Structure formats: structure tokens, C-alpha cells
Amino acid sequence: MVIGAAGMLGGEVVSQLLARGYDVVQTAWPDNNAGQILLDITDQAAVNELVAKVRPVAVYNCSAFTDVDGAESREDIAAQVNGTGVGTLAGACRENNSLLIHVSTDYVFNGASEKPYRCTDPVSPQTAYGRTKLIGEQKIQEIANNWIIVRTSWLYGSGGKNFVDTIVSLARQKENLKVVSDQLGCPTYAPDLARCLIDLAQKGGQGMYHFCNGPACSWFDFARKAVEISGGHCLIEPCTTDEFPRPAKRPAYSVLDCQATFEKLGWTARPWPETLLTHFSV
């Protein structure tokens, strides 16, 4: 079962599961016009009923409240989806002996590190989004008995709003753009993350993992390369975080250590410039 199957990551998970020959039950909210079952994960009765009916071997939760700035003024709503709803899924999976595969975020850390974050490093979210995602992690660890959590960062791909497509679109309309250069992280390509989630489940993975495409870069580096590969000619200029204030604080350093995940998978994530080439060739 794939929760959030109409989204960017959920759609990739569905496609890759089907390609591997699995039967897949797809749910989505509120987009129900592409054949998905309508499911609100904050509706405990509906979640319990559907999981009990389907009895899936694995449940991939690709749904989330991902509006980082919006969560600052709507933390209660974000917490219902990212926290309470995830706890409901965890309970339903425990009752039906289903593996729960859940996607979390680098925002559970404080962004003040000087070396890549390991899975075991202390968490200290600085935003409403990070706090609500951490609640989801904690509920899974408290409730579920068979689970995988994969933290990721800077996700992009086809079929959903993301930084790459936004910046390339803006670059076609403007002669120059300023992009923040003092925030470091790692882009993650949705098809690669989908492969990671499925492979971890197939290989009997359990517990917490980190996954992203390296190497570390700034948003400025990422934007400049995306515009270049897409064939754009807009001048991308660096700026500081202070020049670009946002409602939610962005982490200055958000690089994840993925080595343990790569060892479990038996393969290493592609460099993000290579994934950009793939993205613009699709």
C-alpha cells in the first residue's frame, strides 16, 4: 500500500513497485481522480478499516504536510498529518503485521553541525515543520513493531512542486536571479529515493536510515547547475540567508551521512549533477 500515491515521491514508489511485479493499493488525499482510494490519514477509523481490509505486506507512507513556511502558522494542522496521522498508520500496521516505511527529514536536526549528520545524532528541530516530523518519527518508534524511517533532504523530481522546476521556470522569465549560498545540504532525486525505500524493505531493513544524492552543495550551486543543464541563460547570483528572510528558519548545514544506508543497500547514490541530467532528459 502506498499512502500519498498522487504525489511526487509516492508516484515514483508506485511505478517502481509495479515494475517489480507487486500488487499495489494506492491511496491519496485529496487527489482522487487518478484511480487512488481517497484516504485521510488523520481519520483513525478510515485508516484502521482500510489497512485491515487490504492487510498489506508493506505500507509506504509518502504523504506529509510539507509546506515548511506554512507550518509556522498552521503547526496544529501540520502536527495532525505529520504526527498524529503517522501514529495512526503505525498502529494499523502493528495490528496487521505490516512493515511501515516512512519518509522523514533533515529538519529534525538544528542545522548547526559542521559534519554530516548520522542517524544517531541528537535531534533538535528549529521549525514547526521539523517538530511535527519528529513527532511522527517518535510515534513510529513507540507504536510500530516493524518499521523503516528514511530521512532525506532537498527532494525534487517530476509530478510535484520542487526547487529545481521552480528555479528553471523563473530563469526562463528573468535575466538574473539571486539564490542563497550560505545554506549547505544535499539534493535528493525522487526516483533514487523510491528505489532506496523499496530496496531497504526487500533487504529486511529495520530502523533509521539517511538517504540523499551527494555531494554537499549550496542552493546557489544547485540552482546554477540546474539552469545550466536545462539550457537556460539566466545569471544566477549568490546571496545570504539574511537577504532572503522566510517565516521558517532554514538550516545553515543540513548534510546527511548516508554511508550506513549505502552499505545496507549494496549501492551508492548517484551524484546530484547526474540526477539533474536524468531529470531533464525524461
> What CATH number corresponds to the domain at position 57?
3.40.50.720
Q: Which of 129, 156, 209, 253 is catalytic?
A: 129
Residue 75 lies in a domain: yes
Residue 110 lies in a domain: yes
Q: State residue 30's pLDDT score.
A: 73
Residue 227 lies in a domain: no
CA 230 to each of CA 38, 139, 223, 225, 237: distance values in angstroms, whole numbers, following the listed order:
36, 41, 11, 8, 17
Residue 276 lies in a domain: no
pTM recorded for the entire structure: 0.97
Q: Which domain holds residue 78?
A: 2-162+188-212+257-263
Active site residue 129: yes
Residue 104 lies in a domain: yes
Instruction: Give the three cell numbers for residue 149.
Output: 524511517
Residue with cell string 547526474: 274
Q: State residue 96's pLDDT score.
A: 97
Q: State residue 33's pLDDT score.
A: 61
Q: Which residues pair with 217 in a beta bridge?
A: 185
Residue 79 lies in a domain: yes
Question: How many folded domains does the chain comprise?
Answer: 1
- Encode the chain (282 residues) as per-residue pLDDT tens digits: 999 999 999 999 999 999 999 999 999 987 666 778 999 999 999 999 999 999 999 999 999 999 999 999 999 999 999 999 999 999 999 999 999 999 999 999 999 999 999 999 999 999 999 999 999 999 999 999 999 999 999 999 998 889 999 999 999 999 999 999 999 999 999 999 999 999 999 999 999 999 999 999 999 999 999 999 999 899 999 999 999 889 999 999 999 999 999 999 999 999 999 999 999 997
Measured CA to CA, the distance from residue 185 to residue 221 in angstroms comes to: 11
Measured CA to CA, the distance from residue 101 to residue 205 in angstroms comes to: 10
Residue 10 lies in a domain: yes
Residue 18 lies in a domain: yes
Burial (CB count <10 Å: 0-12, 13-18, 19+), residue 115 = exposed
Residue with cell string 518508534: 141
Per DSSP bridges, beta strands 235-239 and 217-218 are unpaired
